[in-house]
Amino acid sequence: MAELTHLNADGAVHMVEVGDRPSTRREATAEGLIQMGPQVLALVLAGQAPKGDVLAVARVAAIQAAKRTWELIPLCHPIALSGVEVAIEPSADGAGLRLQATARTTGSTGVEMEALTAVQVGLLTLYDMLKSADPAMTITGVRLLSKSGGRHGDWQRAQDKPPQDTGDD
């Protein structure tokens, strides 16, 4: 098991010191799914959801969440993001929407948490805006797809099937 960097030698929680690390270009991409009934998905894709353009609002919410990750996750550093991209499209199985977020910075710590937070908040925003039409929606499969830069170098999730609802929620 890898070293848990948020624990000091005594096992106490602390914020990792990154001041001595060199600044490098860093990027992380994450994804997640929201599953919904076919009627609701059709409304969203037609731009006819009761609360308006839910896709635009979810994209903005995801970007805002990436920028505020350090306020939400106690041991995250504030990061000057150089870019955040959010894409929302129908999932491969047609049962909902897939949201993917990519965060970038040049700095001394990674942006994995920013990408993951963007995905979670974007999906929660979709749920909030569509819950009156389908309260049984399920958010699932939130995961890091890739990261680059930093001490540990590049990492990419092995190709596998897209995340699916297992019914275990």
* Neighbour count for residue 93 (Cβ, 10 Å): 13
Sequence-distant (6+) residues with CB within 8 A of 168 are none
Q: In what order do the strands lie in the sheet with 138-148?
A: 81-90, 96-107, 24-35, 138-148, 155-156
Q: Residue 130: left if φ>0, alpha if ψ -120 to 50, beta else—which one?
A: alpha
Beta-strand ranges (E) seen in 11-60 are 24-35
Active site residue 128: yes
Catalytic residue among 53, 93, 128, 154: 128
Q: What number of CA atoms fall less than 13 Å from residue 20's CA on the CB side? A: 2
Q: Which residues of 108-122 are buried (b: 16+ CB within 10 A; e: fewer)?
A: bbbbbbbbbbbbbbb
Active site residues: 128
